[in-house]
Amino acid sequence: MPDIQIERQHNLGMARAREVARQWVSQAERDYGLSCTYEESAEANGACDRVHFSGAGASGTVEVTPERFGMNVQLGFLLGSFSDMIEEKVSRNLDELLARERPAG
């Protein structure tokens, strides 16, 4: 079972959701040294892309759909005691990325 589970609903559609996911990948690689692999769905409607990531003390996946982001993170022993702080930071970061993509209104 993952140490951290984060889910966010959105109405971006698949093309814009992929843009947000790729922004997250860039930040994760740059800021946290994570190694990320982005797998686009082979389905025409882009049913579910997946990002696999791993790094020092953490690994997991991000599922990207036209309506939802779902993140599952497994933390190593040393990071486990910081799970609340890590979850808060990751949630805030994802919320900021999504807020940039929302239409002004």
Q: Where are the domains of the chain?
A: 4-98
What is the mean pLDDT of the segment spanning 7-36?
94
Of 62, 57, 2, 56, the closest CA to residue 26 belongs to 62
Evaluate if residue 68 carries a pLDDT over 50. yes
Nearest of 17, 32, 29 to residue 86 by alpha carbon: 32
Q: What is the arrangement of strands in the sheet containing 68-75, beginning at the earlier edge strand?
A: 4-9, 68-75, 58-64, 49-55, 35-39
Location of structure tokens 């947000």: 20
Contact, 62 vs 50, CB < 8 A? yes
Using an 8 Å Cβ cutoff, are 98 and 13 in contact? no
CB 5 within 8 A of CB 93: no
Rounded distance, CA 26 to CA 82, Å? 23
Q: Residue 37 has what pLDDT? A: 98
Per-chain mean pLDDT for the chain: 90
Query: What is the domain class of 4-98 according to CATH?
Result: alpha beta
pLDDT at 46: 63
Mean pLDDT calculated for residue range 43-69 = 91
Mean pLDDT across the stretch 3-17?
94
pLDDT band for position 1 (cuts 50, 70, 90): very low
Q: Which residue has the tokens 């109405």?
A: 11
